[in-house]
Amino acid sequence: MKILGLVGESFLGGVKILFPNTLKWIGLAGESLHAQLAEEIRGAIKSYGDGKVTMEAMEQMPLMKSVVYESLRIDPPVTPQYGKAKSNFTIESHDATFEVKKGEMLFGYQPFATRDPKVFDRPEEFVPDRFVGDGEALLKYVLWSNGPETERTTLENKQCAGKSFVVLITRLFVIELFRRYDSFEVEIGESALGAIVTFTSLKRAST
């Protein structure tokens, strides 16, 4: 029960950062993106979910999925990661190699990797369709869960135990937003936990 409690607290803390950050980037992207998301989400629900949000319907929303991944890429909810080496190994970057000894403590700041200009075009910009189509190949460089987005959580790695659930509820969050509203405007503030988002206008769904 203590372990479950710690997981729950960690998850809640992450979502308190992730949801406002997701709102921030979508809100700042403006009405053009909002219109595309609303059309895609409502069309998929109608065509593949018989009016309901289903897993099949969500799979027909490539822009929505890309927006969620791009939010996780540009603003990982937990930026610092650390761990102790269990054995000797080598870390390689684009232009250097580092020897790590067993027992050494490693610390990483995720945006150094997720905003790497040698991997991502316009790394400091929120690009909503970055992971659509051929862009899906870049998902292996989205490391918010302490590992590549393309890999599964196992007992042998340090990836977030709630990785798949976090992606799912963030998708549902975006879907429900655009089921109810056509567009919205926001003002952005900052706090120790990330963005503070204040809605300044909400345009209800026209259909």
Q: Once rounded to an integer, what is the mean pLDDT over residues 166-191?
A: 95
141 in the same domain as 59: yes
Q: Average pLDDT over the chain, rounded to whole? A: 90
Residue 73 has pLDDT above 70, yes or no: yes
Contacts of 149 (CB under 8 A, 6+ apart): 69, 72, 139, 140, 142, 143
Please report whether residue 114 resides in a domain: no
- Return the amino acid letter for 91: I
68 in the same domain as 85: no
85 in the same domain as 63: no
146 in the same domain as 51: yes
**Residue 6 token pair:** 């710690």
84 in the same domain as 128: no
Query: Structure pTM?
Result: 0.90
Parent domain of 87? 80-109
**Residue 102 token pair:** 């067993």
Contacts of 52 (CB under 8 A, 6+ apart): 45
Residue 12 has pLDDT above 70, yes or no: no
- What pLDDT score was predicted for residue 6? 36
d(CA 169, CA 164): 9
87 in the same domain as 73: no
170 in the same domain as 141: yes
Q: Once rounded to an integer, what is the mean pLDDT over residues 64-87?
A: 93
Specify the CATH number for the domain of residue 32.
Answer: 1.10.630.10
pLDDT digits (tens, 9 = 90+) for 92-119: 989 899 999 999 999 989 999 999 999 9
Please report whether residue 6 resides in a domain: yes
Terminal CA-CA length for the chain: 45
97 in the same domain as 57: no
CA distances from 49 to 61, 159, 167 (A): 12, 31, 19
DSSP type of residue 136: G
129 in the same domain as 27: yes
Structural domain tally of the chain?
2
